[in-house]
Amino acid sequence: MGYATEGRMTKMDYAICLAAALGHLMIHQQDAVGLVVFDEKIRGFLPPRSKRSHLMNILSILAKTRPAARTDLAGALHEVADRVRKRSLIILLSDLLTDQDRVVPALHHLKFRGHDLIISRCSTTARRPLSSPRPTRFEDPETGQTVQADAQAVRAGYLRELTAFLDEYRRQCLSIRADFVTVDNAMNFDKALVQFLAQRKGRFLK
């Protein structure tokens, strides 16, 4: 989530802005809003409130949130499912780049608890595609491990794997009647927000 191409927000900053805007919108409608931030553990947990002053608590936590080297998305979702007893609309903002085999059962756990889900994948579009004819060094942002490889060969395999990865998330979300939305930090923020709300206008807009 800390990754960004030159001149753009990181995925984390983009997600923080989106979370702040959604929180403002819902509290303005007098809906109760909570917040959970996590890395390998839950680092902040605000129970839902609808008071205007609660928005400042949300913004304060978001302002201090930074990407960590490692995350446990599945563990955080299971903990949220156990802690949030009242049926709620839960919006996940994540790049989802973690073990899908662990995350999918966690999404099912949330749905089993009766929650409505919006899975919002935060992505970034590289300005320079993997098309260099020269060997390119790739680095894992979480482990720091590096490997040198043919960029064009990597690109084909990467796009194939990414498509299959996202298709599986869409299929799983469809199976539990959860919404799957993609937002990209190459988009103007206002356009991304409108696109996001358009898919759920019956839920957000009165």
Q: How high is the mean pLDDT of the chain? A: 82
Q: Token digits for 168?
A: 């599986």
Residue at 150 is within a domain? no
Higher local confidence (pLDDT), 83 or 203:
83
Number of domains making up the chain: 1
Residue at 139 is within a domain? no
- Distance, in Å, from the CA atom of 51 to the CA atom of 65, rounded to the nearest integer, reads 22
77 in Cβ contact with 106 (< 8 Å): yes
Residue at 51 is within a domain? yes
Per-residue pLDDT of 3-48, as tens digits, reads: 555 556 778 888 888 888 888 888 888 899 999 999 889 998 999 9
β strands within 7-88, DSSP E? 33-38, 42-49
23 in Cβ contact with 16 (< 8 Å): no
The three-state secondary structure class of 74 is helix
Domain containing residue 63: CATH number: 3.40.50.410
pTM score of the predicted model: 0.81
Residue at 123 is within a domain? yes
Per-residue pLDDT of 90-112, as tens digits, reads: 999 998 988 999 999 999 999 99
Whether the per-residue pLDDT at 61 is higher than 80: the answer is: yes
Task: Print the domain residue range for 15.
Answer: 11-127+179-204
- Distance, in Å, from the CA atom of 197 to the CA atom of 189, rounded to the nearest integer, reads 12
Residue at 184 is within a domain? yes
Taking alpha carbons only, the member of 149, 147, 156 closest to residue 129 is: 156
Q: Token digits for 183?
A: 């937002």
Residue at 122 is within a domain? yes
- Distance, in Å, from the CA atom of 112 to the CA atom of 108, rounded to the nearest integer, reads 6
What lies within 8 Å, CB to CB, of 189 at 6+ separation is: 14, 17, 18, 21
Residue at 113 is within a domain? yes
Residue at 50 is within a domain? yes
Provide the H-helix boundaries in 8-149.
11-28, 52-64, 73-83, 100-112
Q: Token digits for 115?
A: 């929650």
